[in-house]
Structure 1
């Protein structure tokens, strides 16, 4: 999403590697299965787009920060990648997923370990879930440790810890609301679904990393507030575009079979809008059998299209991106920061299937 110059990108990778190496070293010293957990955490952290740490660095530079004198920048940027990985690992437990990117995730690896040690299916599942929960906890701890120990002024550190605090609490609230919406007998209304979508992603993926970069660059409070407001809208747009990809995107876009959200009957804002339409009966019927195969998925996609839900959601993404650009026009923001918001908005718009 954000292209960094080779030097900052490499420095961020090095900071992430250093943090993961510390986890592995501590785990190896304790031995046994915990050593294997350290290795699984390293695999879970490897790869990925790493756009959240890139946002930290991009905001830092947009506010005039010099990468030659980047006090605390790279450990703080790395912290947001570890935070993301922690949420992903925990999310897989919540969703009972044991595979990610085509290979066993932390829970999947430890289920296999349990079976190899003679556990039955229930015991292996218990071990897998326990390992994944602990892995996520360790990553959350390391993210907070990186920020707490970053080379920053006391006031900057206080602000950065506040950003991480918001990211953790608001994301947890969004995740819980999302699960409640999924298991409730009655459908939540579209407003509640939109709120959960925002809280799950916007703060930890956009508002907090962008604000962190601005804090480290010494930006004034009013500029940070304006950037945070833009990040809030960018984050909502990103999540809604993700929902569109989950329903209509290609396998390459989604990283799994096309229509995965429809196969799983996820209650996203897209479904909330369909429920408010006159075509809901047909949409509901189509989604109820979408798990049976690609033909049924295509029928559900057509029903959603004809209900107007897709058009409404695309319009909402466009509206959120427009609000982000308006927030970026605040005179408190330097021109480079406004351009950064515009660049991110353009990248999100290009994700819409």
Structure 2
């Protein structure tokens, strides 16, 4: 798997802000945009079909053991369904844009990354003791509610919910590897895909550990440390590894694989920085994400790491991390983050990493179809910070 860039500098002084109309992302295209839309819809259907078959077989096996086990698999399936299939789209976009034609194999690899994502968010919710995700109860929440309905006291009910979520996450993680095994590819290719998948999981675990440590340590991490944590925890398995897997599966050259992996790594970091910005300054109606949760949690982000070295930190630190932080107090924190330049810094840093992603995408090793495929992701990320 391609290693991260050795130059991990996060300064923005030399960054040129880029927009969708700038030369950095203004490639000429020989691909009809409508073709990309149709391709995306077809890919999602392929992945959905793979996951439907997988869960159907698993539920049949579970029903032979008993109704409680069947309920667990039904709950896990529900928590996997309904997403945008972003990671499978990255796999299949890389695969097809580099000449791959075995859509069934690519759909299995894409579905493996989707199931990996399910496993990681289920376990992440356990770590955070969260019972809600995207406005609805998650696996932990479902089983907490079942226990409470049965008359079990809240602390014990919550423990049961979290315990079952660990089991569900374990099942999703193990079977993600099994989906790669069922892709029908040869032994050598399967081994290469396993290595990429293993690196995705290995990196994500390291990033999760850093995130847990950051939340418990009194000292504030540096911007560089936060960026590295976000790269490891999310960018690798959500962006870098999926496009790398798709490129390898397509039989692309080493240069093309490295270019797409570099694109994925950098745009993944940009995406996470923007996500943290939206967690404080976003439009809740548009993002569906609360703008007070991260402040109540005291989440260590680029915004917070940068602000910790500014005079305004005295005011920010008074309120950051208060579980009962009010909207008025949150507004004070937001103003201070803007006044100290943290918001501007984070926006520029996201643009810098998006710029790096665009440079990787400009590689001569990649065909125009690959650039047409992934340019919109850069445009989307940049559009979120405008």
| TM-score range relative to shorter protein | over 0.9
Tell me, in whole angstroms, the C-alpha distance in 2 between the residues paired with 1:230 and 1:2.
Answer: 21
Deviation at 1:236, TM superposition (A): 0.5
1:60 equivalent in structure 2: 95
Deviations 1:285-332 (A, max 9, x none): 243558432222222111111110111111110000111111122222
1:326 aligns with 2:363: no
Tell me, in whole angstroms, the C-alpha distance in 1 between the residues paired with 2:37 and 2:158.
Answer: 38
Deviation at 1:88, TM superposition (A): 0.8
Tell me, in whole angstroms, the C-alpha distance in 2 between the residues paired with 1:63 and 1:333.
Answer: 8
TM-score of the pair, normalised by structure 1: 0.94
Question: Which secondary structure state, in structure 1, belongs to the residue aligned with residue 320 of structure 2?
Answer: helix
1:255 equivalent in structure 2: 288
1:237 equivalent in structure 2: 270
What residue ranges of structure 1 are gaps of 5+ in the alignment? Answer: none
More off after superposition, 164-173 vs 208-217: 208-217
1:22 aligns with 2:57: yes
Q: 1:302 to 1:224 in 2, by over 3 A?
A: same
Deviation at 1:34, TM superposition (A): 1.8
Q: 1:290 to 1:2 in 2, by over 3 A?
A: farther
Structure 2 residue corresponding to 1:9, chosen from 44, 69, 74? 44
2:300 equivalent in structure 1: 267
1:217 aligns with 2:250: yes
> 1:265 touches 1:287 (CA, 8 Å); kept in 2?
yes
TM-score of the pair, normalised by structure 2: 0.86
Q: 1:49 to 1:2 in 2, by over 3 A?
A: farther
**Alignment length (residue pairs):** 351
Determine which structure has greater relative contact order: mean sequence separation of CA pairs < 8 Å that are 6+ residues apart, divided by chain length. Answer: 2
2:75 equivalent in structure 1: 40
2:148 equivalent in structure 1: 115
CA-atom RMSD, angstroms? Answer: 1.9
Q: 1:289 to 1:70 in 2, by over 3 A?
A: closer
> 2:295 touches 2:330 (CA, 8 Å); kept in 1?
yes
What residue ranges of structure 2 are gaps of 5+ in the alignment? Answer: 1-35
Deviations 1:183-238 (A, max 9, x none): 11222222211111111111100111111111221112221111111111011011
Higher helix proportion (structure 1 or 2) = 1
Structure 1 residue corresponding to 2:132, chosen from 75, 82, 99? 99
Deviation at 1:241, TM superposition (A): 0.9
1:299 aligns with 2:309: no
Tell me, in whole angstroms, the C-alpha distance in 2 between the residues paired with 1:174 and 1:52.
Answer: 18
> 2:235 touches 2:272 (CA, 8 Å); kept in 1?
yes
> 2:279 touches 2:289 (CA, 8 Å); kept in 1?
no
Tell me, in whole angstroms, the C-alpha distance in 2 between the residues paired with 1:241 and 1:80.
Answer: 22
Deviation at 1:264, TM superposition (A): 1.9
2:375 equivalent in structure 1: 342
